[in-house]
Amino acid sequence: MEELLFKNRTELSKQNYMILLKFHEQRNNWKYWAYTAFFSIVFLSYMIIQIINHSFIIAVLIFIFLLLFLGYRFLYPAYKVKKELNKEKIKNNMENCYLFYNKYFEITNENEDYKLRYHKIYKIYENRNFFYLYLSKEDVLILNKSGFEIGNALEFKKFLKNKLKFKYKQAY
């Protein structure tokens, strides 16, 4: 059995989740708005061209598609946040225990236990109080820096940088 290098316990509270959302929003805000603005302008331009060419049915269809696009861009994120906040793990302030070994790490809580290899980590961000281990663009593990029971945040940072050089980003 491998030697346990780090152990962290982090509560999945509403407060910690809201801090993650704020961090995620600040990190991606300009990209999100630029993408939305670009495609909205494209749709509007194409709609105007159709109106000029008297293709009103196509213009109406483009307008409907634009409304659906904007609804998705603005309403769906709010829906996802509401859905996530209503999950039992956040409502009950469930605690995750993270165990880090040299070749893999484990995540345990009252509902599940699983092992992951480090190459499964998509990206890592660090801010003043947390490490965010992204397993995908939307699936994030939250580690509170004050939650280390074995090792500490500074040693863990060095370990992550060594293990996943190009995936680590510091964001203060």
Query: The tokens of 85 are what?
Result: 């906040």
Nearest to 46 by CA among 32, 61, 31: 61
- Residue in this structure with the two tokens 């490490």, named with its chain if needed: 131
pLDDT tens digits for the chain (172 residues)?
Answer: 789 999 999 998 888 888 887 887 776 678 888 999 999 999 999 999 999 999 999 999 999 999 999 998 888 877 777 777 777 766 677 899 999 999 999 999 988 899 999 999 999 999 899 999 999 887 889 999 999 999 999 999 999 999 888 888 877 6
What residue ranges do the domains of the chain occupy? 6-12+94-170, 14-88
Give the pLDDT score at 45.
Answer: 95
DSSP single-letter state for residue 92: T
Q: Which CATH architecture has domain 6-12+94-170?
A: Roll (2.30)
- pTM for the whole thing? 0.75
Which residue type sits at 155?
Answer: E
Give the pLDDT score at 91.
Answer: 66
- Cα–Cα distance between 15 and 138 in angstroms, integer? 18
